[in-house]
């Protein structure tokens, strides 16, 4: 089973209606072709370049600003900069309060866009089409290139302007850059492809945990029973691929094992008692990535 174990588990598939329209009611393939004709989209890449220039133009010289303009000592300035990352209360003076509120707004904006922007770009392409997969790779090459360009300009030219010409123009350029990023985004709103919501991933994770706990006394050894999967080409999440069963973390496999009463009645409608193999494998992927995330905490601490 080391990779896939479909030969050791029988899979029961249940019919599921497959939707072919996006959130605006347009045919998905028409919507995809309309957007992908712009690949690599200069608007999306320019948007990300401006956003990175604005963010790093402020974040990378924050300690010098606090020590030079707010007249704190270097150690205190570094501590203040770190406090702003964790949302701790602002200082006593009105100047410090305004300063912290500005940083919190930056954190809110950056935290809101960073987890979504890559997925938003990926939604424009159809992985089942060979040509679209090539275009998708090209888009992300340009996308991450624009991030590097924006970061490089901000930590070199923008910081030099802040130190030699003045903080006003040094912060004014990132603010103007962010304005351009907003304009780029809204100027092509009608060309974006908006997928129908596929449901909350947190809910899907909780369903697997609850279903596994409910069947905690079941035997999940290889070939022990019938496991459940949807019968359509994609998974329960629209236009997402099914995942094959894998070894490891077999306790979670219990969520996809059919109980005797379910087989007799044919009722598979309760997702808190029966989950698909794909849904179980999604949680397994998250669990396996946990150690990578833990290592990322160390890197982020050193990087900060």
Is there a single domain that holds both residue 13 and residue 65? no
133 vs 148: which has the higher pLDDT: 148
pLDDT of amino acid 217: 85
Asked if residue 56 and residue 184 are part of one domain, the reply reads yes
Do 132 and 57 fall into the same domain?
yes
The answer, yes or no, to whether residue 59 has pLDDT greater than 90, is no
Both 156 and 217 in a single domain?
no
- Count of Cβ atoms closer than 10 Å to residue 104 Cβ: 13
Report field, pTM of the whole predicted structure over 0.85 = no
- Is residue 64 scored above 70 in pLDDT? yes
Q: Look at residue 220 in the predicted model and tell me its pLDDT.
A: 72
According to the model, what pLDDT value does residue 276 have? Answer: 85
Choose one of 167, 191, 215: the last residue of a domain: 191
pLDDT band at 48 (very low <50, low <70, confident <90, very high): confident
Inside any domain, residue 117: yes
Is 214 contained in some domain?
A: yes
Model confidence at 1, pLDDT cuts 50, 70, 90, reads very low
Q: What are the angstrom distances between the C-alpha of 79 and each of 47, 85, 172, 304?
A: 32, 10, 25, 11
More confident residue, 197 or 169: 169
Are 39 and 184 contained in the same domain? yes
Which residues span the domain enclosing 142? 28-191
Please identify, among 132, 156, 191, the residue that sits at the C-terminal boundary of a domain: 191
pLDDT score, position 81: 66
Burial tier of 129 (Cβ tally within 10 Å: 0-12, 13-18, 19+): middle
Q: What's the pLDDT score for residue 286? A: 92
Find the helix packing angle between 277-288 and 290-303, rounded to 10°. Answer: 40
Cβ-contact 184, 50 below 8 angstroms: yes
CB 214 within 8 A of CB 252: no
Q: Quickly state the pLDDT bin for 262 (edges 50, 70, 90).
A: low
- Say if residue 196's pLDDT is above 90: no
- Which has the closest alpha carbon to 242: 211, 268, 280? 280
Separation CA 223–CA 230 (nearest Å): 19
Residues 250 and 178 in one domain: no
**Token pair in block for residue 187:** 């100027």
Instruction: Indicate if the pLDDT at residue 139 is higher than 50.
Output: yes
Do residues 176 and 210 share a domain?
no
């Amino acid at each position: 089973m080391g990779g896939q174990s479909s030969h050791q588990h029988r899979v029961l598939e249940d019919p599921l209606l497959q939707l072919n329209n996006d959130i605006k009611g347009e045919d998905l393939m028409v919507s995809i072709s309309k957007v992908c004709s712009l690949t690599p989209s200069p608007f999306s890449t320019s948007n990300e370049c401006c956003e990175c220039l604005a963010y790093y133009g402020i974040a990378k010289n924050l300690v010098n600003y606090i020590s030079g303009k707010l007249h704190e000592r270097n150690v205190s300035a570094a501590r203040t900069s770190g406090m702003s990352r964790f949302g701790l209360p602002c200082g006593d003076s009105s100047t410090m309060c305004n300063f912290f509120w500005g940083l919190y707004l930056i954190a809110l904006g950056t935290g809101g866009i960073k987890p979504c922007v890559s997925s938003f770009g990926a939604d424009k392409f159809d992985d089942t089409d060979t040509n679209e997969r090539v275009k998708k790779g090209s888009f992300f090459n340009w996308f991450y290139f624009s991030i590097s360009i924006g970061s490089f300009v901000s930590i070199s030219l923008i910081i030099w302007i802040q130190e030699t010409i003045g903080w006003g123009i040094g912060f004014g350029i990132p603010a103007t850059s962010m304005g351009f990023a907003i304009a780029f985004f809204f100027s092509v709103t009608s060309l974006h492809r908006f997928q129908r919501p596929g449901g909350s991933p947190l809910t899907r994770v909780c369903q697997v945990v609850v279903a596994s706990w409910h069947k905690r006394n079941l035997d999940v050894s290889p070939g022990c029973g019938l496991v459940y999967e949807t019968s359509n080409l994609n998974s329960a999440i629209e236009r997402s691929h099914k995942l094959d069963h894998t070894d490891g973390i077999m306790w979670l496999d219990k969520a996809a094992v059919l109980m005797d009463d379910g087989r007799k009645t044919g009722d598979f409608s309760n997702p808190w008692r029966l989950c698909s193999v794909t849904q179980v494998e999604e949680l397994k992927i998250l669990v396996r990535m946990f150690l990578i995330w833990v290592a990322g905490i160390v890197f982020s601490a050193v990087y900060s």
